[in-house]
Each structure stands twice: as C-alpha cells, then as structure tokens.
Amino acid sequence: MKSAQGSSAKPATGRGAGSNPANRFKPLDRSTAEDWLDDPQGPGQNTEFWQDVSKSILSSNDSPDIPFNYSLNAYRGCEHGCVYCYARPTHEYFELSAGIDFESRILVKPNAPELFRQALSRKSWQPQTIAVSGVTDAYQPVERKLGLTRACLQVALDFRNPVAIITKNELVTRDIDVLSQLAAFDCAAVYLSITTLDANLARRLEPRASTPENRLHAVRALNEAGVPVGVLAAPIIPGLTDHEIPALLKAAKDAGAQFAGYQVLRLPHGLKDLFREWLETHVPTQAGKVLNRIREVRGGELNDTRFGARMKGEGVYAEQIKQMFTLARKQAGFSAGGPRLSIDHFRDPTDRQATLF
C-alpha cells in the first residue's frame, strides 16, 4: 500500500484506488491502519459504515453545467470503488482520504426517507426534478441491505415528485415496481452509466460496480417495464475508452435505451494523482498517452474547473469526441433529446383535500 509520502505497492484486491493519500484539509495518513481486514461481503478490505447525522437530505447547486438544482444523497462515499470518481475529494471534508477511505468508509443517513418527506412537505418546496443521487451511487452494494434509496423513491411516489436516477448498479431493477408507478406520472427516468464494454477493464476501473453486461440487462428490464431509461457514456477516458463510443451506444440501443449522453473524465484535486497511479499500475504502456490526451482536452492540465468546459472538455480532441458521439448516437437510432419529466401531478399526501382530487 502507498502512504501519503511513500511509494506504491500492489493495489488492494477489490478496490479501485491504489493508495490512501492524506486529504487536503487535515494531513491524515490512514494507509497503515491495522483494521484492513478481508471483507466478509466480498473480495477486498473491510468496509465500515458510519452514521451520518445530517439534518437535511437534499443538496442544492447552482452550476450551469448541471441540469438539476437538487440532489438526494442517502450515502457519502461509494463502495463501487470507481477510481475515476469525481466525488472522491468530497470525503476529505470528513477528515478522510479520497483514496481507499472513500470506498471503504461509507457514511449512511438512516433517516433519509424521513428527511426527504420533510423536505417535500415544506410550504416553500417548489416541485422539480431531483437527482438520485448527485454525489455517490444510490444503488451501491449496501443499498441491497438497507433499502434507503427504495424508501426515498416511495416518498417521491407519495408526492409524485419527479426523480432522475444515475447508477452503475443493476440493483436499480429491484425497484421497478416503484419506478413504473412513478413513470405513470412522468416522474421517473433512469440513466445507466457505462464507461466501457470491456469486462476486464471495467473490473479494474470500477471493481464493485455491476458488470457492463449486467448494466445492459438493467436497461432492458427497465425499458420492458415502461420506465424511461437511457445510458451515460461516462466518463469517457481520452485515449483509453473513447474508441468504444459507437459500440457502446449500439449495445445500449439494442438493449432498449431511449436516450444517451456523455461526459469526459474530470480529475479534481487529488484525484489526478490517484488516477495517474492507477494508470501506471494497470495500463503502464498506455499511461503516457492517456495523460497527454486528457491534457489535450483540459487546456494542457489534467483538470479544468471552468463552467462550460469541465464536463465535455475543449480543443480539437474534445471536438472529435463530441463529433464521434453525435454520429454514433444518430447511427444507433437515438434522438437528441432526453426524458420528459413532469411536475404536473405533484401533491402533498398529507393534504386531505388535495388527495381527494
């Protein structure tokens, strides 16, 4: 294992990050902790779940790059372990590392459904689409046991408030019964995020997410149940996965996806070093090429935080990716639009008069 100052060793089995560097806010080095044990839930190291006592469940944003104002996060940190995850640096706010801590120290909001109901019940709430979730995957492995996301969807159904889900886990199909009821009011859409169709590469990039094949199975199941479903080719990793765009979109359309979008890899804060370390460990002969390609779309750097550029990149190579995606989307038979969600059916289930109507 690599410490904040040490050299890299063999990555932990079943984890995406190869080390546990100190966070930006407090110089902690947890990489030598004695509690790294075999995880009884699967391959890898022990995962701990800590109670998050936050008093709110909805996070707001005013970014012009994001098509929603609010997101719901029942979990912080994500056991999927996707090494490229832009949310990794958020764990540093809790004096934890963006590395292995992010995927093995999961904060859980056990009262998420109650907090969500309180938020939608407020007189000040303006009905609008809520992203589930905006930071970490709402269907990461522990959701199978805790069911917090499912309970929150049931709250959304009670109020008929639209939700848009982005996930890398086939577990979303467990909730088809609730999602199909939401869809009847134009209040649900699901995006399966697929980075690559290469199962071996996916296992190294995103070790505990569902396989690409199983994500396509989820697309098919949701479509057959009448739930609007699409795919996000995300993140596209320049020089590593961009060549897969046509095949990925064709496979998604064949599975029943109705819409498609994409995002280009972004590497905020210390994620740059984690991803570089991953490249040097897993694809050493391609590392230099990938890093150079990333710089080509990020103005010579490995990250660009500017609104309007951070999601898709800029420059000649970014334009090539855009054109490839646009053509592949058209050839696969996708339209350029996204799902239609509606607030027309919103109601407060505690309002007896409104419920009668």
- Asked if the structure places residue 15 within a domain, the reply is no
Residue 18 domain flag: no
Residue-level pLDDT at 34? 29
**Residue 309 corresponds to which amino acid?**
A
Would 22 be classed as within a structural domain? no
Distance CA 298, CA 305 (A): 9
Q: Among candidates 349, 16, 56, which has minimal Cα distance to 201?
A: 16
Whether 200 maps to a domain, the answer reads: yes
* Residues forming a β-bridge with 264: 236
Please tell me the predicted confidence (pLDDT) of residue 260.
Answer: 97
What CA–CA distances, in Å, run from 7 to 1, 46, 119, 270? 8, 23, 47, 16
Residue 38 domain-assigned (yes or no): no
Q: Is residue 194 in a domain?
A: yes
Q: How far apart are CA 339 and CA 210, in angstroms?
A: 24
CB 57 within 8 Å of CB 73: yes
Whether residue 43 lies inside any domain: the answer is no
Q: Are 247 and 120 in contact (CB under 8 A)?
A: no
Q: 327 in helix, strand or coil?
A: helix
Distance CA 146, CA 34 (A): 27
**Residue 239: both structure tokens together:** 């020089």
* Number of structural domains in the chain: 1
For the chain, the first-to-last Cα distance in angstroms comes to 61
**Cis amide bond preceding 124, omega within 30:** no
Which among 9, 88, 54 is positioned nearest to 270, based on CA atoms? 88
Residue 163 three-state SS: strand
335: which 2 tokens?
Answer: 């339209």
- Structural domain span for residue 236: 48-337
Q: Nearest to residue 115, comparing CAs of 142, 61, 78, 151?
A: 151
- Tell me the average confidence (pLDDT) per consecutive run of 10 residues in the chain, 357 residues long: 38 69 45 31 66 90 76 95 95 92 94 97 96 92 96 98 98 98 98 98 97 98 98 97 98 98 94 96 97 95 81 93 98 93 94 54
Nearest of 202, 198, 301, 235 to residue 84 by alpha carbon: 235
**pLDDT for position 198:** 98
**CA 154/CA 160 separation, integer angstroms:** 9
Confirm whether 350 is domain-assigned: no
193, containing H or E segment: strand 188-194
Q: What is the CATH number of the domain that holds 129?
A: 3.20.20.70
